[in-house]
Each structure stands twice: as structure tokens, then as C-alpha cells.
A and B are shown apart, each in its own frame.
Chain A
């Protein structure tokens, strides 16, 4: 069991799912309440990581983060090194990779809040944002927890994006799933089994918490 890789992965998943709450709520808010006619294009964009092979996403991320892209150059001028093959690069990659797993439960929860409550809140002098804070968010608690837990669990198990963007640097970008892959490569099945089991148990626990909280199946896919 490689504890270094384990804690690195937990740290990555924790940071990503926390950041996704901050990023996902405004996006889900916009997706829920916007009446823009091309909104469905944005919805499709957000859902892309669900169907895209991680290597495709990872490939484009690698190009975007590399020293030839404007983003990569900007980061390099700021910090002195590129984003690719760093922990920060992994965080950015995982944010995109897990975005739909946060945004979709959020948006589903916001949309499920009875619109008559929003009307009542407006008649009682609350602006749409105040209404969102005092009515929609508290009533979407289960959806927020679901989004957090799903993006956490999803980030725990990512492989393709990590390999493309982060490479395999111990203590920096070597996550559990890559560690398992390495062990199998050198025929260390016992160690691979231990690590895989830990990942399996954690993922199952996280999902149990989510389902227990909701007591109803929810849609995670683009078929919502």
C-alpha cells in the first residue's frame, strides 16, 4: 500500500471538490435560471467530460497548460515553471474532469425548488440573489452534498487525465489509480490489490452517504 499516493489523491480530491462548490454553484445557478436560447450548448459543454475519453481531455489540457499556450506562458511568467506535470496542473485538470459531477446535482436541486416559494420571496421584498441565498440554497442541501461527494469520489479514481497532464511523479502527481497501474506493470499483485481495495471501499462509502442522504436515485449523466 502506497500511503504517499493515497494522501496525495485524497488531498487532490478534497481541494477539487471544495473548489467545485465555489465554481459549480454560479454555473448551476445560471443553468437553472437563464432563459438564453443557446443555453443547451453550455449544458452540453459542461457534460462533455462524462462522455469524453479522459485521454482526449487530458491531451487538450496538456496542450493548453504547456509553455506554448498563453495560459501556460502566463503561469510560467508568474511562477517560473509550467503547469503541466505539477500538482496545480492536476487540480485544474481534475476541476474540468469532475465539473459535471458537481454542476448537475446542484442544478437539479435548484430546479426542484418550488417556484411558488421564489415568487413568495420576491413579494416579500427579496431580490433574486437574496432569495437564492435564503431559500434555494438551504433547500438544496442534499444536492450540494451529492455534488460534493460525487466530485470527490470521481476525482479519487481518475486515471487518464492524470497520466496525460501530471505524468507519474511520486509525491507530486502519482495518484492511487496510477500507483495501481504501476504495481500491476511490475506484477506486484498483492500491493495492487490492497490499494484497489481501499479505493473500492472509500468510493462505496461515499456513494452510500450520498444515496442515504437522498433516498432517491438522481441523474448524474447528461440524460438528466
Chain B
């Protein structure tokens, strides 16, 4: 069920167009050293994804917007009204900003029930209105069955929903979500994404959504802002940004050690796959089918941990891609062996265990087969 529009009394104090504008500069010191946060962007109503590796400054940026950290220089405004303005020496305290913030660790109040947690931010309303509003949103987020339980007694997914509902029920003028889906399994995640989208249709406010998961970028993003070491390196619609060359660093950081540019050769609609030719070489990969014309360029990301190596040509495998190659070099990183394999001019990075290296007697120069499952190939920028 959809979340109902807020009562007129509250709706009237909401700005009609609540654009979030952020211009911040701050020097930060963290355990890995110092870096400069230097960003300027506008977020319109709807989802804006903040994408970047950990340590890129995403959480610090959200803390500055929420008023929990003093940036020292710059300006933050929602709907034209300043929340922070260094020139005017203006800083609205966090508790007066009306910005919803769901932190990665959720921070549910352990001594309150789920319903009391949700109703916590509604202190301007009387008790019965509070209950009506809290129950309404708990219903919409499918957590009405855990109303009277405390955070310690409900599942991780339910806790995540309670934290979201608690922030959303206050009708914030902007919403900051710091990896709110990180701990969820895929099906719970997509349900929650649907609920969030539904809520956003009735509440047109800017939502800044932090993630380092590229799937979430495509699932949610109206707009993506890519952050690297405190700076915006790319901004735009997901498919534009993900096609940009800057993507490579981000994609690698977010777990795709292998990113190839490829050309679509054939669409096998009956099998739900397509054939792509990698780079300039002759190597072909069978990948999941996406809407892309034959001859168009795509980028394919493959995680090094999703690849298999075989010392003989394997038979009777379900994996569609078995590519002959040669080991270029082996590097040990902690307990992981990273093998670089050259397959007809294309280099693959493959991660394996120390045991696998010893059992297969892998050494540089050895002839080898790389096995790639179709569904390990993630298409980007289509």
C-alpha cells in the first residue's frame, strides 16, 4: 500500500520545490591521512546517488549536510533557505534542519519499541496523531507486526525498515541515506527499494543515497555523483556516468577488478544471452541479455573472485565461456593469490586461494583455461 500524503497542516510548511544545494570545502584528518573535501552540486527531488569507494568522503559529506559536522567553509541550502552559510556565519543546528538521516549503523534507540522509535521524531504532534502517523508508515513499510518489539528483538531487515520509517515519517525536507541497504539480501533489498520509490512519488524531496554497490546505482539512480578522495569526478544520469572513463577506478574499487570495453555481436534472445567481442581482439564472451543493439559498445565488469582457472580444458561445465590463456604473473595479497592471465591479448585478474595455487601448481608462463559464467558478467553503461 502506498504511503498517504501528509496532513495539510504539515504539508503547508514544506517548500514546494526543495532543491538541495551543497558547496563545501573542508580539510579532514582521518587515520589514513588528511584529504580535502571539495564539492559543489545540486540535488533535485528524487534519488541522487553518491557513489565512491570507502574513504572517498561520502559519510563526512552527509554529516556536514545534516549539521553533525561543521564544514568550516561553504554553503548548504534546501529550497533556497540556508542551513549553513560560512560567509554569513550561519549554521542551523542539526535538530532544527529537518533533514532525515539514516546512518549505516541505523542507531535505533534500544530502550524504545519499534513504534516508539518511529514516532520519536513526531514530538510536535499529540499522542493520538503520533500513533496514527507512525502506524501508517509502519504499515507501508511492512513492519506493523513488530510494532511492540524492541530493536534487539527484530531481524536486520526489519531494523533497516524501522530506521527508514523513523526518518521518513517526520516529512523531512531532504533525506540522507548512508548505505541503508548494505546489510540486506537481494530480495529484501529490491522490496525495500520499491517501498522507497513509492514513498518518493508522494514526497518529492531530494534523497542523497550513498552506496558503493553499482547495482543500486542502476536500480535507484535518477542522478549519480561520483566521489573520489573528496572530489566529484563525474556527475550525471547513471548510464552516462557509468560509461565515462572515470568509471574504471570506481568500478575496480567497488569490486569489479576486470572491466572490459566490448562490442555486441549477437543477441540470443531465445537463450537470454548475448555475445560480445572484447576490446580489439577476437575474444568473445557470452553475457546476460540487455537492451543493446548489435554493434553498439558496452562495458563488462567481472569480479576476480567469480572466475575459475583450470589446467586442462574442462568438459561438461554449465559455464558458457571457457577461454584458453597463459599466466603472466602471480601475486600474493594476504591469503589471496591474484593471477594475471592473458587470453588472446585480454588480461584477466583472477583471485584464488593459496591451496588452489599449490594444487594446480600454477607458475607464470603456464597454459591455463579461464572459466567465466554468463551471469558473472555485469553489463555497465547500456
State the A residues within 8 Å of B (CB). Answer: 114, 116-117, 119-128, 130-131, 134-135, 138-139
Contact = CB atoms under 8 A, between A and B. Distances in A.
Given A123-B97, A124-B121, A126-B123, 20 more contacts: A114-B107, A117-B107, A119-B103, A119-B107, A120-B108, A121-B95, A121-B120, A122-B68, A122-B93, A122-B94, A122-B95, A123-B94, A123-B99, A124-B167, A125-B96, A125-B124, A126-B120, A127-B95, A135-B109, A138-B111
B120 A123 contact: no
Given A119-B68, A120-B103, A125 B123 contact: yes
Contacts of A131: 95
Interface size class of B (residues with CB under 8 A): 20 to 34
Given A125-B123, A126-B123, A120 B95 contact: no
Contact of A139 (B66, B95, B110): B110
A93 to B, nearest CB: 37
Contact of A123 (B110, B123, B124, B167): B167
A125 B98 contact: yes
Contacts of B338: none
Contacts of B99: 123
B159 interface: no
B47 interface: no
Contacts of A125: 95-96, 98, 121, 123-124, 170
B344 interface: no
B166 interface: yes
Interface of B: 66-68, 93-101, 103, 105, 107-111, 120-121, 123-124, 166-167, 170
29 contacts: A114-B107, A116-B105, A117-B109, A119-B68, A119-B107, A120-B101, A120-B107, A120-B108, A121-B109, A122-B67, A122-B68, A123-B66, A123-B94, A123-B97, A123-B101, A123-B167, A124-B121, A125-B98, A125-B124, A125-B170, A126-B95, A126-B121, A127-B93, A127-B95, A128-B95, A130-B123, A138-B111, A139-B110, A139-B111
A9 to B, nearest CB: 35
A220 to B, nearest CB: 25
B150 to A, nearest CB: 12
Nearest to B121: A124
A130 B93 CA distance: 14
A134 to B, nearest CB: 8
A117 B105 CA distance: 10
B68 A124 contact: no
Nearest to B120: A124
Report which residue of A116, A123, A126 has the largest number of chain B beta carbons within 10 angstroms of its beta carbon. Answer: A123
A123 to B, nearest CB: 4
Contacts of A124: 95, 120-121, 166-167, 170
A131 B120 CA distance: 11
Contacts of A121: 95, 109, 120
8 closest A-B pairs by beta carbon, nearest first, are A124-B121, A120-B107, A122-B94, A116-B107, A123-B101, A122-B95, A138-B111, A119-B68
Contacts of A123: 66, 68, 94-95, 97, 99-101, 167
A143 to B, nearest CB: 14
A126 B121 CA distance: 8
A141 B54 CA distance: 37
Nearest to B116: A134
Nearest to A128: B95
